Amino acid sequence: MESFIKESNFFKGNNPEDIAAKYGTPVYVYNEDILRDRMRRVSRIITKYEFHSNYSIKANTNINILKIALSEGLYTDAMSIGEMRMLLDAGFPAEKIFFVSNNVSREEMQFAIDNNILVSIDSLSQLEQFGEINRGGKCAVRINPGVGAGHHEKVVTAGKKTKFAIAEEDIDKIFDIASKYDLTIAGINQHVGSLFMDPEPFLQAVKNFLRIAMKFKNLEFIDFGGGYGIPYHKLDDEQEFPMDSFKKDFELLIDEFVKDYGYAPLFKTEPGRYCVAESGVILGRVHATKQNSGVKYIGTDIGMNVLVRPSMYDSWHDIEFMRDNEIVKRENLTEQTVTGNICESGDILAKNRMLPAVKEGDLAIVLDAGAYGYAMASSYNTRPRPAEVLITSNGEVKCIRRAETYEDIMRLFDC
Ligand SMILES: *Cc1c(COP(=O)(O)O)cnc(C)c1O
C-alpha cells in the first residue's frame, strides 16, 4: 500500500502537527477503531467451543487500553505483580486474569493467591513452592512442547534452547508434586514464541500440545499461547495473518482432540502483539539530515529509548513522512538510514531503507508501534518517556498518559 496512515484514515481528520504541538514529539498515538477491531478478531479465533483470548498485556499496559480490552470482553495474561495490579485497577475481575509466572518470588505467588488469580507455574521447583504456600490449591502448569517459533532467537520461547516451562518428560513429576500437596492442575499452557505469519508451525505446536494434554485428566482448560504476527512490511504489501483459514484448521485439530478426550475443556490463546501493534504509531520529528562516508542519515527524535525493538531484535518498522499535512510520496527513493538522538551507535530505527527525500522539520511516523513500544521505553540519556494519546472512535484526541517530566525522574532521589 502507498500509505497506511492515509488508507486507514489513522488520524481521523486531526492534523498530526496539532498533536505534535500539544504533546511534543515523540508521542505515541493510538487509533481506537483499529484497536477494537483487532481485539474483536482475537475474540473469535475459535467459535465452535468455549474459548477465551487472554490479551497478554506486557505488549501494552496502558491502563486506558486495558479498559478497552475489558469492554471488548477479553481475558488477560499478567507477568508480574505490577501487571496484576494494573489489571485490577483497570476493573478486571480476578477470574479474567491469568498470572503466567516465570522465576517469581513467593511474595508474587502469594499476591496472586490472595487475589484469587490463577497462576501458571513454570518449573518443578516453583510447583513445590506453590504447594508449600497453597496446599490444596489450584494452578496451571506451563509445558514446553519441544518446538518453538518466532521472528528472532530472542523471542522463541519453546524448544530445546529456552528458559521457559516444564519439559514433557517431567510430567510425571508434576503429578507427584501435585499429589504431595493435594494440588489441582486446572489447566496447561504453552507459548511457542512470538511473531509468526505462517500458521503451520503454530498448528503443529497445537497438535503436539493436544497430544500432551491427553496425559492430564480432568483439565478445565488448555491454553495454546500467543505469538500471532502482524504485517510489519505493510508498505511492501505484506499480507495479514490468515485468521479465517487458521480458524478452520485450528478447530479441526480441536474436534479430533475432543473426540478422544471425552469432553471439551475451555480453550484459550494469549495474543499480545496482534491486539495492539497496528493500532499505535510514533509521531516524531526529523531534526537533521547528513551524509557520512556515503551513507545518508535521517536524524530524528525517535531514539531507542522510545522504541527499542529495532536495536534489540533488528525489527522492521515501516516509516512514513509528513510535510505540510501531506504524506511525503514514496518516489525517487534512495537508500537512507533513520536514527534517533541517543548516544549509542546502535540507536538505529531503520538501516539502509529505500526512502523519499526528507527535510528537517518533517514529521516521521513509525508504524505498528502499539506493541512492545511504550511498554519497553525507558528514560535512557535522561530523556523522559513520551506521552500517549488516543484518537477515539468519534475522532477526538484524548491524552491517555502524559509525558514523563524531568521532575518525575528527580522524584526518585527522594529516598
Ligand atoms: C509475551 C507472551 C505472549 C504474547 O506474545 P505475542 O507475541 O505478543 O502474541 C503470550 N504468552 C506468553 C506466556 C508470553 O510471554
Interval 340-386: pLDDT, tens: 999 999 999 999 999 999 999 999 999 999 999 999 999 999 999 99
Grid cell locating 254: 480441536
Per-residue pLDDT at 82 = 98
* Residues 55, 201: Cα–Cα separation, whole Å: 21
CA of residue 263 relative to chain centroid, distance: 32
Q: Is 370 in the pocket of ligand 1 (CB under 6 A)?
A: no
Compute the average pLDDT of residues 60-80. Answer: 98
* Residues 251, 375: Cα–Cα separation, whole Å: 33
Per-residue pLDDT at 352 = 97
Q: Is 269 in the pocket of ligand 1 (CB under 6 A)?
A: no
Give the residue, out of 58, 65, 142, 224, with the most ligand 1 atoms within 8 A of its beta carbon, to mutate for a pocket test: 58
Global pTM? Answer: 0.96
State the closest ligand 1 atom to the C-alpha of 59, by its place in the atom list counted from 1.
Answer: 8
Q: Is 229 in the pocket of ligand 1 (CB under 6 A)?
A: no
The answer to whether residue 59 scores a pLDDT higher than 90 is yes
Could you list the active site residues?
343
What's the gap in Å between 225 CA and the centre of ligand 1?
7
Tell me what percent of the residues of the chain surpass a pLDDT of 90. Answer: 93
CA of residue 214 relative to chain centroid, distance: 30
Q: Is 280 in the pocket of ligand 1 (CB under 6 A)?
A: no
Residues 6+ apart with CB under 8 A from 59: 272, 273, 275, 276, 277, 370, 371, 372, 375
Give the residue, out of 57, 65, 188, 191, with the most ligand 1 atoms within 8 A of its beta carbon, to mutate for a pocket test: 191
Residue of minimum CA distance from atom 15 in ligand 1? 191
State the closest ligand 1 atom to the C-alpha of 150, by its place in the atom list counted from 1.
Answer: 7
**Which band of pLDDT confidence, cut at 50, 70 and 90, is reported for residue 160?**
confident
